[in-house]
Amino acid sequence: MKKKITFRPILILFYLSLAIVQVYILNSISTYGGKLNDIDNEIRLVEDNNDILAENIASASSVTTLYNKAKMLGFVTNPPVLSLDPLPVALSSLPSN
């Protein structure tokens, strides 16, 4: 008589190893999810800080702010330019031919 080979113990070991691998993968995925959440929070903080800095730059470079800083440093507005009448040139007084 031929001896029958049973695959039941092999299948049980195979299923157990698959279950262990699945638990390991799920555990690693859950830890990566926590890390991704932390990174996402850091990204939001950096974006908020960038927005605040952009607003500070915009307000510091506004015309009124620059005008007030220049006034505080002693700069003055340009005085009106005085224009004199053109002086007579020697060539223009020569008689023409």
pLDDT tens-digit profile, the chain (97 residues): 567 777 788 899 999 999 999 999 998 888 888 888 999 999 999 999 999 999 998 888 888 888 888 889 988 888 888 877 776 666 555 565 5
Q: What are phi and psi of 13, to 5 degrees?
A: -65, -40
Q: What's the first-to-final CA gap in the chain, in angstroms? A: 144
Tokens of 87: 């002086």
Does the pTM exceed 0.75?
A: no
Cα separation, 26 vs 88, whole angstroms: 97
For the chain, which residues make up each domain, given as ranges?
9-72
